[in-house]
Amino acid sequence: MPIAGRAKMFIRFALLAVAGLTAVTLSACDSSSGPTSADKGTSQVTVVGNGKVQGTPDTLTVNASIEFVAPDVSGAMNQTNERQQAVIDALTGSGIDRKDISTSQVSLQPQFGGGDSTTIVGYRASNSIDVKIRKLDIASQTLALIVSTGADATRINSVNYSIDDDSQLVKDARARAFGDAKDRAQQYAQLTGLKLGKVISITESGAATPPPPPMPYSRGMPEAAAVPLEPGQQTIGFSVTVAFELT
C-alpha cells in the first residue's frame, strides 16, 4: 500500500480510538449520575413554637432628675449638684446601697430669650440618677423621699419594674416553647401519615417583654405623700424554630 494510503488509514484509526474513549468516558459518568443518599434528602418539617411564663417583679428602678435654671452657669450647676447630692445622701441614709445608685445623665444648656430669641438669658442644668430599689415594700416611701428632698427641682422621669434573676423563668419559657414546637410537628407528621423523627436544627429567640408604661413627668413637692405602686406581673416569652425529621 502507498505511504499516503497508510497515513490516511492511521489517522482514521486514531480518530475512531479517540471517539471510542470519549464514548466510554461519557458512559461511565452517566452510570453514576443517579440519586445518591445525599441527593435523596430527608423529609422534614420546620415549625415555630412559643412559650410564655409569668413572674412577679422584685426590683423597681427609678430615674429621677434635679433641675435648676439660673442666670449663670455656676449658679445652675452648683444648685443642681448640691440638691442631687442631698437626694443621694438621703437615699443612702434610708438604706439604699450606694452601688444601686448611678448617674445616668448630666446636662447644661443655655436658655434663649429676648426679642430675636438669640440672646442667652440663663442656663438650665440637670443631673439624673437611676435608683434601684430591691425592697418593694419601701418603694413608695423611697419615691416620696426623693421628691421631698429634691423639692420643686425634682423630676421623676420613669419607673421600671423588673425581675432581678429571671434565669429559671427563661428556662421554663424555653421548655414550653420547645414543647409547643414538638406538638405542632407531631400534628403535621400525623396529617402526612409519617412519624416524627430526630431533631435536625433548633434556632431560638427570646420574645420581647413589653416594658411597663413610664411614670408621668412630675415636679417635686415638699413633704410628698407615699406614691401608690403596684408591681403586677411580667411575662417572659421565648420563641424557637425547630426542624424535625419525618420518617
Q: How many CB atoms lie within 10 A of CB 146?
A: 24
Q: Going by C-beta distance under 8 Å and a sequence separation of 6 or more, which residues neighbour residue 62?
A: 130, 131, 133, 142, 143, 146, 156, 158, 159, 160
> Contact, 20 vs 28, CB < 8 A?
no
Residue 197 lies in a domain: no
> What are the CA-CA distances from residue 232 to residues 40, 51, 199, 217 (Å)?
54, 20, 38, 21
Q: What is the pLDDT of residues 60-79, one digit of tens each?
A: 999 999 999 999 999 999 99
Which of 80, 145, 76 shows the shortest CA–CA distance to 109? 76
Q: Coil, strand or helix: which one is 23? A: helix
Which of 36, 30, 117, 120 shows the shortest CA–CA distance to 73? 120
Residue 62 lies in a domain: yes
Domains in the chain, number: 1
Q: What is the pLDDT of residues 93-121, one digit of tens each?
A: 999 999 999 999 999 999 998 777 788 99
- Domain range for residue 68? 58-162+218-230
Rounded mean pLDDT of 185-214?
80
Residue 11 lies in a domain: no
Residue 68 lies in a domain: yes
Residue 45 lies in a domain: no
* C-alpha 129, offset from chain centre: 23
Q: What is the pLDDT of residues 9-46, one digit of tens each?
A: 443 433 334 344 333 332 333 333 222 233 356 799 99
With residue 65 as reference, give the H or E element that holds it: strand 59-70
Residue 126 lies in a domain: yes
Residue 49 lies in a domain: no
Residue 146 lies in a domain: yes
CATH of the domain at 117: 3.30.70.2970
Q: Which three cell numbers stand for residue 95?
A: 438604706
Q: Which three cell numbers stand for residue 10?
A: 492511521
